[in-house]
Structure 1
């Protein structure tokens, strides 16, 4: 990233330099290093490079601040070339430019030679176990990873099977069940593959019920389901439900407290779920329902405020429609019967009249 940034700066300065050359504007030199620290293995080729912005153009002079320049090295424009670096080449190199306009300028580059006999891959020390238990709610939890190697390793943490990295030591302001999981200490050194050590952070403690108090609206005759999601380690010994009616009556619920009530429990990866179902719901079921989970470390609770309204609109419409149709059919039937009897009476009366005549 630094190299790309410096290359962009070099390009911009080069364009300024070319403009200055085109207009022949004298300018004192500005010198900076592409990379201030070079780490290379012994016996390999290296190219120490500086960029210079000046008008008129000038060459770069190289020197070694902590000793003489290596005889085997060669200056080439703005670079100092070393075909096969050795341990004695380690040190601080300076590139200096002076074009006679204004003050001279310089930049330094540190060369770190990794000796074949002394370099070694990073080794992670055993400062933590493969599994670490942390108490739920503990503040300022940290886990430090130590590693040795030449060159000195860069140490980070990451969550296993992700690209989510953390600084070393691994620390959390407060431990909860979302903290729980598998983490890896990653130690990296230039020229070597990364060394990884894995550990599991296991959070134990009282139950923690997800979510907060809820207000639920339902209709009379429908089905109601309340879900109580419990994270806990160890698993909750019990998940109980209580109900306070709109009249203030409080009862602990069981399967036969009232008609249509069903209480179940299921185990999950993070703990257990408590499930309450009422089918069908009536207006008498309105009130506040509370789920409480308990294990050896403590308890946690969550409330559900249930409001039960009248029958759904479509039910009222259907019932009303049925009543209207029923009344209509009754009236029609009554009219038909009345007409039928009226006709009979007319015939009877006509018959009698004729007989009388």
Structure 2
């Protein structure tokens, strides 16, 4: 009768295997400890949402001033207006959202301008304090255009011309466009274009520019109102037209200028030249290259636009206006500051 063999016994782990296990456990030690940290640790407040620094409100709608914050325990909120405590309990038209610092102002039967000012939100708990930036509340305004008598403009063919718009100052600034009596936009090209200031620039005038309905319109975004300037009449005389001439700049003036832009914002540089024949404008960066993926040219190359500006965009930019008789240059020194 055969004798059954005993079951194989597991061999004891080698010293090298034990060392490997110890090393793995040692490496995992900090992570396993981290997993056991309670999720309700005390946290000081942090602002997570706030209204923009320059906040222009629609006078027809309730004003909502955002202030949200996180923290453990959940923060308590308070506000100041123009540097002093803003007592919400004493303001029947103002309420604060539940578990939030956001203010809602019901301006029905009120004037929005009564709530203009510099507001600041504070979030507190026993572990700290967080403060929003200053929020400047201003009511949107669309003031009326002052009545004026505009005499007809008589010019010689070939000279330069600027038709001024100069709308009333609104909050925010109005959108400007030029149209005729039939509400058709006036054509713009390399010779005729609207500048950032709203004025209409002619590098040189032609006979076909004669008309009696150059009308500047201002659209105020928040109130959705449109106002118009008195029509301007231009008469171009074709006798003894102006001589051909090399370019000079209508804007900017002088050989150089400066411009400041905030980091992350949009940089817009503008050069409009006069001359006959019509000058063509080009752009370069004197001390570097233009960022190809963030640069565009508008208004027949009279405007250079760079989006999402960074410190690398600081430096000297040059616009050049050229025709068959010569060229002109203007340098713009751009400074970039933190947003």
Q: TM-score, structure 1 length as denominator?
A: 0.39
Larger Rg: 1
Between the two structures, name the one with larger relative contact order (CA 8 Å, sep ≥ 6). Answer: 2
Q: TM-score, structure 2 length as denominator?
A: 0.41
